[in-house]
Amino acid sequence: MPHSALTKAWSESRPALGPWITTDSEWSIETLANCGFDFVVIDCQHSLLDEVTASRLLKGLAGASSAAIVRVSRNEPARIGRVLDAGADGVIVPLVNSAQEAAEAIAACRYSPRGVRSFGPFRAGLGFDVKALEERVSCFVMIETSKAVERAAEICAVPGLAGIFIGPADLAVDMGLPAGSAFSENPPPALSDAIAKVVKATQAAAIVCGRPAASVGDVKRATTAGFRLLTISADRALLRERAVQIVKEAQAS
Ligand code: 3PY
Ligand code: MG
């Protein structure tokens, strides 16, 4: 069962929204996880954070209103197991290109004999109930290459997946398009078609589809297109945007 902050958003027929966390600060992650976002996602792939640091940051989120998701740096059981042991409510696993790789990600979230996760929750309060420990985890895998798009239906059909998170930038690069085109208001038609194909596959499999939202305006477009998990902004961007705005307003007053 996904974290209640996620299921609440979905029960209200709106996408779950959350910012990326890219800096090693217990104080800023705690602040952002209590602002009304449905989740925060600690990024171990494109930041200076690794899964050990993410595990420490997770500890500061006890009692936070947002769910805590970690994008691990790669599809590897030890990395996934570590952040789950530290209490992550979910993982986003990058660059999953086949049903086999999706099944490996799921197996990393589950204990033997269903999976390969080693038993060792170390966050107080997680308990020792194997079934409950498995059920609290949502596993999202990333489709972000043309090969994965081709195999979207097979990937989505892997039992146990909470959903797919699309990586539009990597997908654009893989398709020979500028990475930035993924986040423009009118992405190239080939990219939009590929993304629509993945959304369709998630709907057929009755799982969640997510992607980064480029802006607040993009949230509406993504919601209409059927996305139910949207990242929006990031810790440093939020700090910068507000700081720049305040400087501008204060200087003009
Ligand atoms: C991508 O767009 O490739 C991503 O990984 C987004 O986070
Ligand atoms: Mg990517």
Q: How far apart are the first and last CA of the chain?
A: 50
Ligand 1 nearest-atom number relative to CA 71: 7
Q: Is 46 a catalytic residue?
A: yes
pLDDT tens profile 52-67: 999 999 998 988 999 9
Per the confidence metrics, is the pTM higher than 0.95?
A: yes
- Residue range 100-116, pLDDT digits in tens: 999 999 999 999 999 99
Ligand 1 atom with the smallest distance to the CA of 20 is 7
Q: How many CA atoms lie within 13 A of 117 on its CB side?
A: 24
Could you give the domains of the chain? 4-252 (3.20.20.60)
- CB-based burial label for 200 (10 Å; 0-12, 13-18, 19+): middle
Residues 241, 4, 86, CA angle at the centre, nearest 5°? Answer: 80
**Residue 35, CA atoms < 13 Å, CB-side half-sphere:** 15
Cα→Cα distances 151→72, 99, 101, 161, 165, Å: 22, 8, 11, 15, 14
Q: How high is the pLDDT of residue 76?
A: 98
Ligand 2 centroid, distance to 46 Cα (angstroms): 9
